[in-house]
Amino acid sequence: MAKLLDKQRYKCALGAMQSVQAITRALPILHSGPGCAQKLSESIGSSGYFSPNIFPCTSINEKDVVFGGVKKLNSTIENALKVVDADLYVVLTGCIPEIVGDDSGEVVSRFEDSDKPVIYAPTAGFKGNNYKGHEQVVDAIVEQYLKKSEKKQKGLVNIWADVPYQDLFWLGNLRELEKLVSELGLIPNTIFGYNRGIENINKIPEAEFNLLVSPWVGLNNMKKMERKLGIPYLHYKTLPIGATETGKFLREVGKFAGVDEQKVENVIKEHEDYYYYLIERYADLFLENRVINKQFTLVADAQYALGITKFLANDLGLVPAKQFVVDDTPKNRREEITAEFKNLNFGLEAEVSFETDGYKIHEEIKNHDYHGYPLILGGYYEKELTESLKGNFLNISYPVQDKVVLDDSYVGYTGGIRLIEDIYTVAVQRFN
C-alpha cells in the first residue's frame, strides 16, 4: 500500500528546475504537465529574467499520454530557441512522459547542432527527490556539454555545495566559500548565482580540482567529472561553520591544493582573532543563556544537520540531543555521515536518525528529556512544536517561512557569527 509522508521536506526531482534557474541565463524547458512548475515554484527569490511562470513547458495532457508527447517536445524546444534568449537550455522531464515512454533524449539530440547548447536531464519524480534532481542537472552538463581540457589553469578550483533554493542560503554560502578559498591564494569557480553562468561552466574542465562541500549531494557528479574530465576531487563533508570547523576546512583544502602551511595558518589566525574578539565581548550573554538551552536538536538536510551540530558542539559547547536528517540520504552514504556526527570536540557524540516522517520526528522530540527548554533548529514545521515545549526555535532549513534570506550565509567565520546572532536573538526575545 502507498505510504503517506508527513511534513515532507523536499520536492520531486523536477524541482531541479530551480538548480537550472540558479545558473544565470540558463533556461529550463519542461516536458511535464502544466501544473508541475507552478507547484514546484515558491516565492523565495525565484523571480527574475526567467521565472517559473514563463518556463517553456509542453503542458502535456491525456492526448499525449495516449499518443506520445515527443512531437510537442520537439516544437517546444524549437520555439524556445527562437523566442527565449538564453545561454543554456536544459530539458527536464516530469513523471508522465517517462512513464509512458517518450524518448526525450532522442528529441533533444536533434538539437545538437543548434547555436545554443540544449541538454537533457531526466528528472521524473519517481526517480527521487530534488537533491537527486540537482545531481541529474549537473550530470547532464558534464555528460552532454563539457569536454575534457588539456589546458589547466593553475590554482583554479570548482566549488560545489548544496542545492540552490532548496537551501535558502545557497547564494551567500557559495560566495563565502569562494572568499575563503581565494584567501588561500586559489581561484574559485562556481556556476550558480549572480555574475556566474555559461562562462563559468566553460571553465570547469580547466580546474585543477573539484571541491565538494556537502555530506553527499553532488558526490556522484564529482566521480563523473573525475572519470570524464580527469579532475580530481576533495570531498569535504562538513559545511564549515564557525572557527573550529572553518579552520579544519582551510587546512584540509590548503593541504590538498599544496598551499604553503604558514600561509594557511596566517589566514586562519587573522579570522580567528576577530572571531574570538566578538565572542569574548558577548561571553556573558552566552553564559547567561546557557542555562535555558542545555541540549539542542537539528531537523534539517544532512548539510545543516551536520554542519550546525558541529558548530554548536565545538564552538558553543552545547550538548547535542538526537539529530534528524530529513533529506532522504541514500542508504550507502549514511554510515560515513553518522561517523561524522560522532566526531565532535570534548568527547561528545551526537545520535543521528535518518528520518523523513515528520510525525515520528515530532514524537521523538516530545518524548525526549532536554533537561530544560530545548533549542530546536529546523524547518518551519518545528515552530509550533517548539513553542509547545517552550523551547527556542530557529528556522534554518526547508521549508523556511520564518526568515527572509537574500544573500545571508551560514558558512565560515562570518557565517558562524551570523548563526550566533540569529540563535541568541531568539533567546533574548524570550525575556524582552
Partner 1 sequence: MAYKIAVGSSDSVNVDLKFGEVESFLIYEVTDKVELVERRAATQKHSDSNVSCGSESCKPSSCGGNGGGCGGADGVIAKVSLIDDCRCVICKKIGFQAQKQFEKKAISVFDIEIPIDEALKKITSYYDKIDNHKSLRDGGL
Contacts with partner 1, residue ranges (CB under 8 A): 62-63, 65-68, 99-101
Q: Which residues contact 229 (CB under 8 A, 6 or more apart)?
A: 142, 146, 148, 149, 204, 205
CB of 255 to partner 1, least distance (A): 49
Q: Which residues pair with 354 in a beta bridge?
A: 325
CB of 107 to partner 1, least distance (A): 17
What are the φ and ψ backbone dihedral angles of 295, each rounded to 5 degrees?
Answer: -125, 155
34 or 230, CB closer to partner 1? 34
CB of 32 to partner 1, least distance (A): 15
Judging by DSSP bridges, how do beta strands 295-300 and 375-378 pair with one another? Answer: parallel
What is the rounded distance in angstroms from the CA atom of residue 50 to the CA atom of residue 54? 7
Here the cell at position 323 is 539529530
Strand intervals (E) in 155-294: 156-160, 187-189, 209-213, 233-236
What is the rounded distance in angstroms from the CA atom of residue 69 to the CA atom of residue 102? 6
126 or 431, CB closer to partner 1? 126
What is the rounded distance in angstroms from the CA atom of residue 200 to the CA atom of residue 183? 20
CB of 127 to partner 1, least distance (A): 13
68 or 105, CB closer to partner 1? 68
96 or 312, CB closer to partner 1? 96
Q: Is 341 left (phi over 0), alpha (psi -120 to 50) or beta?
A: alpha
99 or 404, CB closer to partner 1? 99
72 or 271, CB closer to partner 1? 72
CB of 65 to partner 1, least distance (A): 7
CB of 385 to partner 1, least distance (A): 38
